[in-house]
Amino acid sequence: MRIDDLSRIPPTQNAEKTDQAAEKRALEKGTIASGADEAEVSQLAKALAPRDPQRLEQLRLEVQAGKYEISAEALAKAIIDAHLKS
């Protein structure tokens, strides 16, 4: 195939070929598992997990019902305080 013929191939075919080639290289290197997805939860994520599932459920229901309200000032203060603690 000539280089100028590449413009005649629909862009989706080029993208699919690129994705397939990248996946093949990753499989060969062993950086991804064949046919299996995998995730690892960091220690930080584990620390941020809710400690009170009942409170979380209560908040979820309030948000879903449109009854959960928080002031912008309180939210901003909580964000700043959390950032300063880090």
Give the Cα separation of 47 and 82 in Å (integer).
14
Cut 0.75: pTM above it: no
Q: Please give the pLDDT value at position 83.
A: 92
Supply the pLDDT for residue 77. 95
Chain centroid, CA 67 distance in Å: 28
Q: Name the CA radius of gyration of the chain, rounded.
A: 24
SS3 percent helix, strand, coil of the chain, rounded to 5, is 65, 0, 35
- What pLDDT sits at residue 7? 57
Predicted local confidence at residue 40, as pLDDT = 80
Predicted local confidence at residue 29, as pLDDT: 65
- Return the number of other C-beta atoms located less than 10 Å from residue 26's C-beta: 13
> pLDDT means per 10 residues in the chain (86 residues)?
57 62 68 66 77 88 93 95 88
